[in-house]
Structure 1
Amino acid sequence: MPRVRLDVAYDGTDFSGWAVQPTRRTVAGVLLEALGRLFGADTAFGMVVAGRTDAGVHATGQVCHIELPADAWETTAPTLLRRLAALLPGDVRVHAATEVPDTFDARFSATFRRYHYRVTDAVHGAEPLRRHDTLAWPRRLDPALLNAAAAGLVGEHDFAAFCRRKDNATTVRAINRLEWDRDADGVLVATVQADAFCQAMVRSLVGAMLHVGDGRRPPEWPGSLLRLTARSSEVTVAPAHGLTLVAVGYPAADEFAARAEATRRIRTLSS
């Protein structure tokens, strides 16, 4: 059963997130349906994804892996992308399908996930062709204030104030990049990169920073919430449609297994 890495992009507007749900349209559900039509509905693909995006969140750099019968992979590999393009709806594309070692794990072997969040503070709102991936903010935003707020969130912290807690799961994460830039078209783009994120974390961070960027909170406020041990009711979760998963990073092939083993360990804050 060769293991195959799929690089996937999707417009999350009409999806109820990534994970399969019996009565809802999801990215994984649509993708598995197309694979089933190619390889047989009874094929167990063992799909594992790098990050389960929420309803409405987009991706240009999502990664998952599947396992295929050897003979099926050998015969379909040269034409798989074209066949999937014919079967998948227009809001999902598979950009690459690559055989990888069986030590590769799309989720646990990842070294980082990188997201972009797009916000416009133009008085006329988001441009029509970008309305599905850009949040319209009703107040003027100051990039200097946004970046001052971001500076207090970089590093390894317990992000409990910004996460939806799950039983027996840690909220300790390490953000190694968090910055805002205003594009040539005037849109503000937040780049957020960490080894991993807990549910709603990126949108909660953005929501907190936006309240600094428009002057309603001081720059040190988001960082001050890191001392909390439970989700903060003061933090507004930014809408899903502004968020896009743009990249997932992996180590060299001979480090896949070691990285996966390290990721599976429950992490606590370093002293």
Structure 2
Amino acid sequence: MFFLLCLVSSAFAANSRYNVYSPSTYKQINIVQSPKNSRINGYAVELLVDYSGSMGRWIQLAKETLEFILPKIPKTTSVALRVLGENNGQRGFAFADLCKSTRLVTFFKHENQTNIVKGLQEAQLGGMTPLEFALRETIEKDLRSVRVFNNDKSGAKDKKIILVTDGDDTCGGDPCKYIREVMRLRKDFQIDVVQLGSSTELMCLSAETGGSFYKVDGSRGKFVRAFENTFGVPVGTVEQGIKEKTGTVQPAKPIPQTPARGYKFINF
């Protein structure tokens, strides 16, 4: 009996130390499951945001930017949010858990800006970047569980992932190899990459899926422009929104832009 009690005690201690998701730890963070056979009329866009330690400045800017962009996207577009590399508040992470740190914050929904901005505010910066694992979760769970219906004949794909990151996979994964394998079987989604910094390693994700690769070298203006482009809102939407919020100008219509079709490399 004493031996069994020791085993149970050790198991609970391991859960706390190594971030094993027991029922008690589930209550500490917002866990959202991808519903099965969900139907969307329009388009599905999933924002996949890197929460590794070096992303703090950019995540703050993303929150400020999305406040003005999301209300301007078409009403037929449903947006979801997933984060990767997050610290969920537990101490004593095991390496294996850090490299599986990703969660769906909010599932696809029309006019979902409140949940997305709130989710970005509540998520905590972590350390590792489990990029391949997060892409697997996004593609094999989130996107696979949703069926999209629309009457668009332009050739645009029904599903899009917008990946925002400043680095490569730090968990030994190979996201490029994974996407090449996936695209042999599936052609229903594209990946737009907002790459912060000088790396072009993840260009393969956009090239393989027919998406756009936005290389942002560090300026706020280029970051904002990349977000306006990938979400398909008029150039100047964010600047105009800030001016209207602060009361410095009267509302004006920003310059519209033509949605991108096929792979593009955009070096701002």
* Coarse TM-score class (shorter-chain normalised): under 0.3
TM-score normalised per structure 1: 0.24
Relative contact order (C-alpha < 8 Å, sep 6+): which is higher? 1
**Bigger proportion of residues as strand:** 1
